[in-house]
Amino acid sequence: MTGSALPDWRDALPWPGPETHKHARGRLAVVSGKATQTGAARLAARGGLRIGAGLVKILCPPDAASVIAPAIEAIMLTPFGSPEALVEAAEGMDAVVIGPAAGVTDATQAHVRALAVTGAALVVDADGLTVFEGWPDDLFEALDRDDVLTPHEGEFKRLFPGLLDTGRENAAAEAARRAGAVVVLKGPATVIAAPDGRLTVNGNGTPWLATAGAGDVLAGMIGGLIAQRMDSFDAARAAVWLHAEAARGFGPGLIAEDLPERLPAVLAALYDRAG
């Protein structure tokens, strides 16, 4: 494990106790794309499950159900055919991830807006961000301080044109203020900023994360921690660190599918050292 000191968010991690049951560990939903674009949602859902969410469900278009069902086991599956049906399918969820391979479509915009009324904390990633290019205020109006945006620099520029010219830290802080939500500006030194002014730069980044799907796993991990009632800013910075530590421990040859399977060892090391 990198460094000798425990991360300062470690005490906020939601370890289960003797009386804990699956619903007490939080309920996470992940919205899938169409039948040919389901892998990202499955990666996010797996990340959320491995990070400790007690119940994880993929919500998918009807045509994707037959593709996803044979590829999951502990993860549940609920099809939906409209924004209204999506709201119904997300009922009771503590957090929802939307955006990974969702499609840059009017439907994705409508789905983000619909989920905003459910009361679940949202983690908006990838296509869920890009689809609001040119209309960022439409996204920001749907968010609150418990929600999280997870852009890489390209997606960040689409929502906040010109802001990166002020430097990554200043840009992330201002973006969080404008959005009224936590912003995770991904990169070699990922910046996590909250709308109340809290900000941190992750210090254990690794180039092994430069692989397709790694960001989808991270979105699921953030959602999984928020579902367990972890503060969204702490959940984001913890997930970013754990994500990088899992990649560092695997090293060369890492693909996104490996990241959730590395998380138990990373979590166990934190748990053991805190005991």
Q: For the segment 6-25, what is each residue's pLDDT rounded down to a tens digit?
A: 688 999 999 999 888 998 89
Is 233:182 a contact under the CB 8 Å cutoff? Answer: yes
Give the angle 125-112-152 at the CA atoms, nearest 5°.
15
Q: How confident is the model at residue 3 (pLDDT cuts 50, 70, 90)?
A: very low
Provide the domain count of the chain: 1
Q: Could you identify the residue written with the tokens 């996803």?
A: 68
Tell whether 1 is covered by a domain.
Answer: no
Tell whether 9 is covered by a domain.
Answer: no
Average pLDDT in the chain: 96
State how far the Cα of 32 lies from the Cα of 11, in Å rounded to an integer. Answer: 32
| pLDDT score recorded for residue 107 | 97
Residue 273 has pLDDT above 70, yes or no: no
Tell whether 6 is covered by a domain.
Answer: no
User: At how many degrees (to 10) do helices 39-50 and 214-227 cross?
Assistant: 40
| pLDDT score recorded for residue 179 | 98
Q: Which two tokens stand for residue 21?
A: 């049951």
Give the SS3 label for residue 115: helix
Residue 5 has pLDDT above 80, yes or no: no
Report if pTM > 0.95.
Answer: yes
Tell whether 198 is covered by a domain.
Answer: yes
Q: How confident is the model at residue 211 (pLDDT cuts 50, 70, 90)?
A: very high
Question: What CATH number is associated with residue 95?
Answer: 3.40.1190.20
What's the pLDDT tens digit per position in 26-63?
A: 999 999 999 999 999 999 999 999 999 999 999 999 99
Section 108-136 average pLDDT:
97
Tell whether 5 is covered by a domain.
Answer: no
| pLDDT score recorded for residue 7 | 83
Tell whether 60 is covered by a domain.
Answer: yes
| pLDDT score recorded for residue 4 | 45
Section 119-131 average pLDDT:
98
Q: How confident is the model at residue 178 (pLDDT cuts 50, 70, 90)?
A: very high
What's the pLDDT tens digit per position in 214-254?
A: 999 999 999 999 999 999 999 999 999 999 999 999 999 99
Tell whether 7 is covered by a domain.
Answer: no
> Which range of residues forms the domain containing residue 261?
19-203+211-274
Which residues, other chains included, contact 106 with Cβ-Cβ below 8 Å and sequence gap of 6+? Answer: none
Tell whether 178 is covered by a domain.
Answer: yes
HSE-CB for 129 with a 13 A CA cutoff = 26
| pLDDT score recorded for residue 195 | 98
CA–CA distance from 188 to each of 10, 74, 196, 272 (Å)? 22, 33, 24, 28
State how far the Cα of 83 lies from the Cα of 51, in Å rounded to an integer. Answer: 28
Residue 97 has pLDDT above 50, yes or no: yes
Categorise residue 269: left if φ over 0, alpha if ψ from -120 to 50, beta otherwise: alpha
State how far the Cα of 193 lies from the Cα of 233, in Å rounded to an integer. Answer: 7
